[in-house]
Amino acid sequence: GAGVSQSPSNKVTEKGKDVELRCDPISGHTALYWYRQSLGQGLEFLIYFQGNSAPDKSGLPSDRFSAERTGGSVSTLTIQRTQQEDSAVYLCASSLVASGRGAYNEQFFGPGTRLTVL
Amino acid sequence: GDSVTQMEGPVTLSEEAFLTINCTYTATGYPSLFWYVQYPGEGLQLLLKATKADDKGSNKGFEATYRKETTSFHLEKGSVQVSDSAVYFCALSATGTASKLTFGTGTRLQVTL
């Protein structure tokens, strides 16, 4: 597809269950990011992957959250033992990494997965 | 750490009114600055950007100038339309490498006829 895709679009789960959220980045983009958008916290960075480098996990809120990126493309965000405070929209973004003076990395966002924990 | 502060909404304007949404930042070094927009029911889209001091980003009639001396990146539009109703997010990232975006809290704009 032309853009970043995420699945499922909506997920309702019970407290204590594990969930997996999937992100398909734009083909050729080497950087992939996960963010969370919630009413109380706004837009928060969770984790990002850049090529073969170790991921930056500095935004993950607890050890119940993990993510992997297989083959440098698709990424899965896993939340174990979900809690009600995990309810949010989880956004994935990808970028084509540029470097050098004045370079920036425009991040293209997917539509998000709305997670509701009952 | 890096942070972005933007004016709280909601902002309600009549069509053709002038818009300003204030944004200030705290960051080490020389970040890139962005405005993202989220229209109702849609995903986040980049509206405009600036990568160095005094740069002016512009798109769809919106403008913002990177002011290093005041650490600001205020969003302006001379004449808003109903179709501009959305949530606007100011954001920054480190320049020159893949880097996370740090977002402000978002400002909801409602434009009425």
Select the residue of B95, B100, B105 nearest A104 (Cβ to Cβ): B95
Which parts of chain B have pLDDT scores under 50? none
Is there a contact between A104 and B44 if contact means CB atoms under 8 Å apart? Answer: no
The string of pLDDT tens digits covering residues A89-102 is 999 999 887 555 55
Find, in chain A, the residue whose alpha carbon is nearest to that of B5. Answer: A42
What are the start-end ranges of the H helices in chain A? none
Is there a contact between A97 and B97 if contact means CB atoms under 8 Å apart? Answer: yes
Confidence of residue A2 (pLDDT cuts 50, 70, 90): confident
The string of pLDDT tens digits covering residues A44-62 is 999 999 888 889 999 999 9
Question: For A8-13, what is the mean pLDDT?
Answer: 96
The string of pLDDT tens digits covering residues B75-104 is 999 999 999 999 999 999 876 566 789 999
